[in-house]
């Protein structure tokens, strides 16, 4: 069978190089971890407790997120109101919000001296203890509830309007005939996707977890390296974390998110159900509570952050510089690598996109630590390793964002480019890049914001002379310099938003193709 013009015109070797580097950074670090780990029997009872806590909190976080998302998504899908578009846009905020900033905002609402506990104390009611299992689950729901809502809203909106009309004309139940079958298809994939995300959540456990009964595997890895310097134990735990992630990834692939329902006339799905007063009250309550849950922590960061700007230490400026360096370099590397992988396509790219999700940045960082430790001081490589890990973690998302646009360009212009005799690089420069500027700008903005707010591998490697802005903020929180921590949180939040907006808007300027 002859190869298609797409395969001929698109340069493929850069994508092959990127795939090889991804395999080296994931499987290579895994090999170093397994070589050092030895037998699984070296796990202690505390380690097994960390494994159980990791799986339990991920399961409960994913279950609560998808259960709460069901009524909210239904309300957003069947109600039209002023501010609906803004609320749906707000659902994307947690994806670019630094985890440490969000956790600080949640502490202001649900912490010991937070707004909720102050109200409960005034009525002599039991207060909420946010640290431990409860706090970890609460923070994970804050980050993943919007993801579940967006998945389910798309499921509602993908149902053709004709099905609602037919159900209404026959006097059938929309819940039983339309919504329940749709939820059966979507909920397993949404649950397992969130479950996988919560398994590799490090910053939430670092701030809200801790203690023998509330330690995740990744937090135990961090403690083994930073406090005990037990590299053997860290390697064993990293191997366990990789195994848990691999099993979860296999389940995610088994229950992949379905494609939208076909067969409609692509019109807005007007709903005839839920017109009673009781249904309107329930929908309004679900939307209002969700909006408050997402907005209040951000509002507290802004309000208290402004007051704390005057208490910022002088070391914040070099910390900002290091964070900007990590963010911008990781964004440039991710953008180039994602374009190369999207142009190549194929099974090798699909595998390379899945591996970083299985191997978290902390596990890969431990592998690099084990490789570097015999020959050099790993702390000297803190920033380069942070850049590599942020690139590795953002690459699957950036590639997935770019792939549909790249495939559309190759499908529409590949044969024409072959007929005109364009070289491979001319084809990329004149045909592909101008037509993928919008998704490329969005992917770059997302990568920049995530890298700017990352507190993962940098906490494993860095010393005080190499601290980034998130690490400085964590240290300020640990030294009870609360006002300075609030000011640093506001600066970090502002920088993440500015980077995302600049790059996202930059991809849209004059991008009419």
Tell me where in the chain the CATH 1.10.3720.10 domain(s) lie: 1-37+312-513, 46-306
| pLDDT at residue 513 is higher than 70 | no
Structure tokens at 124: 């002599």
- Cα distance from N-terminal residue to C-terminal residue, the chain: 33
174 versus 242: the higher-pLDDT residue is 242
- Range of lowest pLDDT (5-14, 52-61, 141-150, 319-328): 5-14
- Between CA 204 and CA 456 the distance in angstroms is 11
How sure is the predictor about 170, in pLDDT bands with cuts at 50, 70 and 90?
low
pLDDT of residue 167: 66
Closest CA to 363 of 54, 94, 59, 15: 54
pLDDT of residue 9: 63
How sure is the predictor about 259, in pLDDT bands with cuts at 50, 70 and 90?
very low
The model's pTM: 0.85
The predicted model gives 336-344 an average pLDDT of: 90
pLDDT of residue 28: 84
424 versus 438: the higher-pLDDT residue is 438
Query: Which segment, 74-83, 254-263, 504-513, is predicted with the most confidence on average?
Result: 74-83
pLDDT of residue 510: 58
Structure tokens at 395: 């690459």
- Between CA 98 and CA 453 the distance in angstroms is 5
Closest CA to 187 of 141, 156, 142, 157: 156
> By the 8 A CB rule, do 240 and 40 touch?
yes
The predicted model gives 245-265 an average pLDDT of: 58
- Range of lowest pLDDT (9-13, 254-258, 306-310, 397-401): 254-258
- Range of lowest pLDDT (25-34, 142-151, 176-185): 176-185
- What percent of the chain is modeled with pLDDT above 90? 25
56 versus 504: the higher-pLDDT residue is 56
254 versus 489: the higher-pLDDT residue is 489
Q: For 63-93, b where at least 16 C-beta lie within 10 A, e where not — what string?
A: ebbbebbbbbbbbbbbbeeeeeeebeebbee
How sure is the predictor about 316, in pLDDT bands with cuts at 50, 70 and 90?
very high
173 versus 307: the higher-pLDDT residue is 307
pLDDT of residue 161: 65
Q: Which CATH entry fits the domain spanning 1-37+312-513: 3.50.50.60, 3.40.50.10680, 1.10.3720.10, 1.10.357.10?
A: 1.10.3720.10
Report the greatest alpha carbon distance in the chain: 79
pLDDT of residue 144: 92
* Residue 208 CA from chain centroid, whole number: 18
The predicted model gives 316-328 an average pLDDT of: 94
pLDDT of residue 160: 65
- Between CA 47 and CA 354 the distance in angstroms is 26
- Between CA 323 and CA 454 the distance in angstroms is 9
| pLDDT at residue 115 is higher than 80 | yes
How sure is the predictor about 152, in pLDDT bands with cuts at 50, 70 and 90?
confident
- What percent of the chain is modeled with pLDDT above 70? 87
Q: Identify the DSSP state of 381.
A: G
> By the 8 A CB rule, do 76 and 289 touch?
no
Q: Kindly tell me the burial class for residue 436, based on how many C-beta atoms sit within 10 Å of its own C-beta (0-12, 13-18, 19 or more).
A: buried
The predicted model gives 123-132 an average pLDDT of: 86
Read off the pLDDT of residues 271-280 as tens digits, 9 standing for 90 and up. Answer: 666 667 887 8
The predicted model gives 166-175 an average pLDDT of: 65
Q: Which CATH entry fits the domain spanning 46-306: 1.10.3720.10, 3.40.50.300, 3.40.50.2000, 3.90.180.10?
A: 1.10.3720.10
| pLDDT at residue 258 is higher than 50 | no
Q: Assign 3-class secondary structure to 415-479.
A: HHHHHHCCCHHHHHHHHHHHHCHHHHHHHHHHHHHHHHCCCCHHHHHCCHHHCCHHHHHHHHHHC
| pLDDT at residue 484 is higher than 80 | yes
Q: Identify the DSSP state of 124.
A: T
How sure is the predictor about 101, in pLDDT bands with cuts at 50, 70 and 90?
very high
- Tell me if residue 200 falls in helix, strand or coil: coil
């Amino acid at each position: 069978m002859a190869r298609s013009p797409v395969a001929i015109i698109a340069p493929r070797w850069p994508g092959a190089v990127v795939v090889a580097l991804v395999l080296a950074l994931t499987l290579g670090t895994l090999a170093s971890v397994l070589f050092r780990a030895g037998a699984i029997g070296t796990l202690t009872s505390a380690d097994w407790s960390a494994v159980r806590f990791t799986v339990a909190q991920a399961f409960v976080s994913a279950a609560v997120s998808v259960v709460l998302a069901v009524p909210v998504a239904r309300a957003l899908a069947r109600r039209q109101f002023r501010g609906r578009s803004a609320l749906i846009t707000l659902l994307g905020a947690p994806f670019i919000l630094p985890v440490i900033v969000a956790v600080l905002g949640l502490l202001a609402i649900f912490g010991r001296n937070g707004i909720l506990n102050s109200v409960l104390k005034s009525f002599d009611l039991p207060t909420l203890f946010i640290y431990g299992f409860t706090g970890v689950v609460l923070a994970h729901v804050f980050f993943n509830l919007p993801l579940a809502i967006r998945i389910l809203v798309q499921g509602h909106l993908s149902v053709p309007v004709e099905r609602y009309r037919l159900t209404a004309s026959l006097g059938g139940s929309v819940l039983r005939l339309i919504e329940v079958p749709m939820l059966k298809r979507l909920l397993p994939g949404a649950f397992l996707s969130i479950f996988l995300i919560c398994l590799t959540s490090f910053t939430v456990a670092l701030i809200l977890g801790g203690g023998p009964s509330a330690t995740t595997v990744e937090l135990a890895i961090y403690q083994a390296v930073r406090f005990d310097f037990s590299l053997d134990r860290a390697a064993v735990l990293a191997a366990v974390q990789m195994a848990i992630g691999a099993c979860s990834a296999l389940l995610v692939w088994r229950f992949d998110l379905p494609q939208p329902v076909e067969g409609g006339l692509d019109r807005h799905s007007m709903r005839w159900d839920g017109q009673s007063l009781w249904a309107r009250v329930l929908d309004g309550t679900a939307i209002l509570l969700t909006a408050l849950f997402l907005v209040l922590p951000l509002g507290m960061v802004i309000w208290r952050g402004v007051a704390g700007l005057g208490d910022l230490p002088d070391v914040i400026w070099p910390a900002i510089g290091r964070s900007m360096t990590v963010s911008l370099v990781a964004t440039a590397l991710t953008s180039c690598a994602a374009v190369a992988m999207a142009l190549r396509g194929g099974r090798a790219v699909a595998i390379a996109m899945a591996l970083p999700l299985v191997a978290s940045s902390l596990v890969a960082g431990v592998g690099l630590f084990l490789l570097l430790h015999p020959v050099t001081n790993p702390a000297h490589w803190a920033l380069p390793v942070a850049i590599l890990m942020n690139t590795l973690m953002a690459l699957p998302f950036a590639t997935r964002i770019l792939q549909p646009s790249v495939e559309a360009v190759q499908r529409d212009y590949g044969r024409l480019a072959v007929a005109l005799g364009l070289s491979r690089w001319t084809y990329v420069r004149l045909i592909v890049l101008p037509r993928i500027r919008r998704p490329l700008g969005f992917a770059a903005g997302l990568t920049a914001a995530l890298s700017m707010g990352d507190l993962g591998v940098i906490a494993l490697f860095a010393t005080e002379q190499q601290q980034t802005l998130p690490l400085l903020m964590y240290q300020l929180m640990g030294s009870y310099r609360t006002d300075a921590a609030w000011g640093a949180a506001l600066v970090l939040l502002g920088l993440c938003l500015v980077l995302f907006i600049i790059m996202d808007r930059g991809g849209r300027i004059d991008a009419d193709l």
